[in-house]
Structure 1
Amino acid sequence: MNIGDKVRILHGNESGVITKISSGGMVEIEIEDGFRIPVHRREVVVVSAVEKQYFGGAQAPSQTPSVLDGGTVSGEGVFLGYIPLNDKDHSIYICNDSVRTYFVLVAEIFGENCKTLLADKIGPNGSMKVGEKSIADFEEWPMLLVQLFPIHEKIEKQLPSIERRIKFKASSFFRSKGKIPVLGKNGYVFKLSENTKEINVQELNAELNEGKMVEQPTFKKPPREIDLHIEKLVEDHSKMSNSEMLRLQLKTFETNLNQAIASGMDEITFVHGIGNGVLRKEIHKILSQMGNIKYFQDSQKDRFGYGATLVRIS
């Protein structure tokens, strides 16, 4: 009785796969629905292939539909194979039973981290060893990432890449016995290149945006002349400090200038008055640092006594 054996509980209707053998004669069995139960080994019996054939028991559905339990693999493609070295250790192979050459990458995933096990080109009827794993550590096996990139050695239709993220369950792994293609050895085999679908980005975007109206950004066009005198901006500024008034005036200036640029205006005039010249100086400083301004100049002496700045937008 070993890990991976299909067993039946003598005093019950449950059957499953041995996932762990503990001291004291206890074994852990994963039954069909994924639950694991501890049972004494005297209470279980190994289900042999002869018994299954004689009674005509139906095979439980497998999570690897391309693998025939205890038989051969259907169809050509790329396969992941686990070949037993002894009763515990297994060698892992990538086998390419197809006419296509692939660049293959295999990595173990540890949360947000990963470890690359293999990165190489595999040709038709080729195989590559990925590593080794012990069945005794089955529960601790990390998720396995396999990526296959078809190599087009001539001008032809582009084929989609293949990606598989594999986290084995005992109930599916130990039912996947078969003859591993290319190598011709018995082991546990999984078809990687089945049920692939090419992703059409345009169709995917259309599905994601179906029924949604794409909003186009709109920008309010400001008046061609903006008066920045504080009494034009607030009803009562008697309690505002000079710095607060200046910040509000500059914010109003920048908001209207940005709207003028975004809406495609060619010019705009800001009326700031003469006063002590602080607001004018700050406005000219900002304009001198902008790249989309053609020029700016004092303007409208007849109306404001050079208390305004004309801005020409490039």
Structure 2
Amino acid sequence: MNIGDRVRLLHGNEEGVITKISNAGRIEIEIEDGFRIPAMKNEVVVISASERQYFGDGIKEEKPTSFSSKSNDLDQNDGVYLAYLPINDKDHSIYLVNPSARNYLMMVSEVYGDNSRTLVSGELSSKGSKKIGEKSISDFEDWPTLLCQFFPIHQKIEKTQPSFERRIKFKATSFFKSKGKAPVLDKNGYIFKLSENTKDIDVKQLNEELKKDSAVEITTKFPKPEKSIDLHIEKLTKDFQFLSNNEMLKLQMDTFERNLNYAIAHGMDEITFIHGIGNGVLKKEIHKYLSQLGNIKYFQDTQKNRFGYGATLVRIS
């Protein structure tokens, strides 16, 4: 029984996809309407296995969608795709794939509320692909929203094609149904067409906003943070008992990023974040974030006898 398996409750009518498995034998299931319900492993059965056991080979299996490589097949060689291709049973490489005859300027970002992080930008060539990262299925429920933006390149005088963007926040019930063969790469995985259900980008309005922003003098003053920031959830909110684990982690990371930016803006040499020991998830996320920044000299675990619990010292360049 793995994340992504479709299961049915033994003592109910609900069906859904496993999104989380704990060591205590508990699982989390996302049912068709998007709600997630808890259950024990022994309370569910994997649908595909049980159907074959009781009904034999008469059950039709859903075959993966495949994409033809014929150049004259416009429906299957048009548009831009997002492909999650397995590295092993948990980890997947993420690719942008362009089987169309047009080149695009593109940018893909992860969105965290009002913040974002650019994963890749540049030109996506016709009949080409570009790797944008890797993700683990075991962290599926924590995957951030993806913002994918595309600007068609017109290499000759022709009718102007609209730029478009697509925001994607996957649901387990739809993600694990999307098995197929990626065009161009010709590999099996989870495939999504990005050039469907898109929102057009108003380039003129975008240029006007950029000009407006560049003409405005920045007068906002950021508060100077303390040298040590305590990220224990009880220090950040009184209502932590009403938050899910994901919501608590998001609040802690938002506080960390905000105070780090304030420290950089004020020219501080160093700042310490007290994250505790716990299960190590918050520390791991902080270290992952810091490792991707270019204006950090180094970061390290600071002395535990000083704080009494886990903390990370950040040296700012």
Band of TM-score, shorter chain: 0.5 to 0.7
Residue identity opposite 1:100 in structure 2: R
User: d(CA) in 1 for partners of 2:35 and 2:109?
Assistant: 28
Amino acid of the residue matched to residue 22 of structure 1? Answer: S
Determine helix, strand or coil for the equivalent of 1:77. coil
Distance 1:7 1:24 in 2: 18
| Match 2:106 to one of 99, 104, 125 | 104
Q: Which residue of 2 aligns with 1:13?
A: 13
Q: Is the 8 A contact 2:163 2:201 kept in 1?
A: no
Aligned partner of 2:249 in structure 1 is: none
Q: In 2, distance between residues paired with 1:84 and 1:56?
A: 24
Task: Decide whether the 8 Å contact of 1:159 with 1:198 is kept in 2.
Answer: no
- Pairwise CA distance, 1:22: 0.8
How far is 1:10 from its partner? 2.0
> Residues 195 and 119 of structure 1: is their aligned pair in 2 closer, same or farther, counting only changes over 3 Å?
same
> In the alignment, which residue of structure 1 is the partner of 2:24?
24
DSSP-derived class of the 2:170 partner: coil
Check conservation: 1:97, 1:181, Cα contact below 8 A.
yes
How many Å separate the matches in 2 of 1:176 and 1:111?
26
Find the aligned partners of 1:195 and 1:19 in 2 and give their Cα distance: 25
- Tell me the amino acid that sits aligned with residue 142 of structure 2: E
Matched residue, 1:169:
171
Shift of 1:151: 0.2
1:173–1:197 CA distance, 2 compared to 1 (3 A): closer
2:140 is equivalent to residue 138 of structure 1: yes
- Segments of structure 2 that go 5 or more residues without pairing to the other structure are 68-74, 204-317
User: How is 1:207-286 mapped onto 2 (pairs within 5 angstroms)?
Assistant: none
Letter in 2 for 1:157: K
Q: Residue 197 and residue 133 in structure 1: after superposition, are their counterparts in 2 closer, same or farther (change >3 A)? A: closer
Q: What is the match of residue 156 of structure 1?
A: 158
Q: Which runs of 5+ in 1 are unaligned?
A: 60-68, 202-314
Out of 64, 70, 79, the position equivalent to 2:64 is 70
- 1:253-306, Cα deviation, whole Å (9 max, x unpaired): xxxxxxxxxxxxxxxxxxxxxxxxxxxxxxxxxxxxxxxxxxxxxxxxxxxxxx
Structure 1 contact 101–150 (Cα < 8 Å) conserved: yes
Shift of 1:199: 7.7
2:58 corresponds in structure 1 to: 54
Match of 2:116 among 114, 118, 129: 114
User: What is the aligned-residue RMSD (CA, Å)?
Assistant: 2.6
Rounded Cα–Cα distance in structure 2 between residues aligned with 1:187 and 1:110: 26
Cα 1:141–1:197 change in 2 (3 A) is closer
**Whole-angstrom distance in 1 between the partners of 2:39 and 2:201:** 47
Contact 1:160 1:197 in 2 (8 A): no
Distance 1:55-1:144 versus aligned 2 partners, 3 A rule: same
2:41 maps to amino acid: R
Q: 8 Å contact 1:25–1:40 — kept in the other structure?
A: yes
Question: Residues 149 and 143 from structure 1, CA distance in 2 versus in 1: closer, same or farther, beyond 3 angstroms?
Answer: same
- SS at 1:42's partner residue? helix
Aligned letter for 1:182? V
Residue equivalent to 1:83: 85
1:142–1:198 Cα change, 3 Å? closer
Which amino acid letter does the alignment assign opposite residue 155 of structure 1? I
Task: Tell me, in whole angstroms, the C-alpha distance in 2 between the residues paired with 1:126 and 1:108.
Answer: 22
Tell me the SS of whatever aligns to 2:58: helix
TM-score, length of structure 2 as denominator length: 0.56
How far did 1:138 drift?
1.4
> What's the CA shift for 1:71?
2.4
TM-score by length of 1: 0.56
Within 2, Cα distance between the matches of 1:56 and 1:180?
Answer: 23
Aligned-residue offset at 1:196: 4.6
Aligned to 1:37: 37
Deviation at 1:143, TM superposition (A): 1.0
* Alpha-carbon distance in 2 for matches of 1:5, 1:20: 11
Give % identity. 62
Match of 1:71, SS state, is coil
Structure with max Cα Rg: 1
Q: Please state whether the residue corresponding to 2:123 is helix, strand or coil.
A: strand
**Residues in 1 aligned to 2:48 and 2:42: alpha-carbon distance in whole angstroms:** 17
- CA shift for structure 1 position 42: 1.9
